[in-house]
Amino acid sequence: MRLLALLVLIAACGEPETEAPPREPDPLAGWEHGPDGLRYKVIHPGKPGTHPSPGQYARVHFTGTLPNGRVFEDTRKRGQSFEFMVGAGQMIVGWDVGIPLMTVGSRYRFFVPWKIGYGVQGSKGVPGKTDLTYDIELLDLRDGVKIPPFPDAVPERQRNTPSGLVYEVA
C-alpha cells in the first residue's frame, strides 16, 4: 500500500515545469509590412500624391547598413545623390517594391530580407544571404519611359521548357 501511495505521489508531481526562455524583443515591432517580406518605417512623410511610377527616374539619398551596424554605402557622406529608374530591375527587388511606397520629400527606413536584397551571391561589401537596412530619402522624380503593365497570363498560350521555364506564344 505504501508503495502504491508513493507511486501515485510521484506520478502526480510529474516533471517540473520549465520556464520558456525570455523572448528577444522584435526589433521591427511597429514597422509596416510591405510586399515580398519588405518591412518599412516612415521617418518623415513627403508630398501627398507624388508616388514614383515604374519607368520614372528617382533621385535619392540613402544609407545601406549590414546587420552588424556597418555602413556599406552612404550617398550623404559622398555628397552625391543617386538616380535610378524605378521598376526596371536596376536595383534590388527590395527597392523596386519599396520606393513606390514613398512620396517626394519622404524619408523611410526599409528592412530588406536577403531574398529581395542581394540574394545568395551578395555584392561588393555585402555577403550573400544578408538582410539589409536602408535609410532612403526620395529627393525628386523625373519622367522616364512609360512602362506598360504586364499583361495577364493566358494559360492556353503557355508552353513549358524542360528546365521549367514557362512562356507564352503570342
Q: How far is CA 92 from CA 1, 72, 99, 103, 134, in A?
A: 74, 15, 11, 19, 12
Query: What letter does residue 21 receive in the DSSP assignment?
Result: P
pLDDT at 16: 58
pLDDT at 154: 85
Grid cell in block for residue 119: 540574394
First to last CA, the chain: 87
Sign of CA dihedral 102, 105, 111, 115: positive
> What phi and psi values does residue 59 have, to the nearest 5 degrees?
-110, 125
Query: What letter does residue 98 receive in the DSSP assignment?
Result: H
Query: What letter does residue 151 receive in the DSSP assignment?
Result: P
pLDDT at 19: 77
Query: What letter does residue 86 receive in the DSSP assignment?
Result: T
pLDDT at 152: 81
CA distance 75 to 89: 20
Cβ pair 2, 13 in contact under 8 A:
no
Cβ pair 89, 38 in contact under 8 A:
no
CA distance 9 to 109: 58
pLDDT at 6: 45
Low pLDDT (below 70) residues in the chain: 1-18
pLDDT at 52: 95
pLDDT at 165: 87
Q: How far is CA 58 from CA 12, 90, 118, 136, in A?
A: 68, 12, 20, 11
pTM: predicted TM-score of the whole model, two decimal places? 0.73
pLDDT at 145: 77
pLDDT at 21: 77
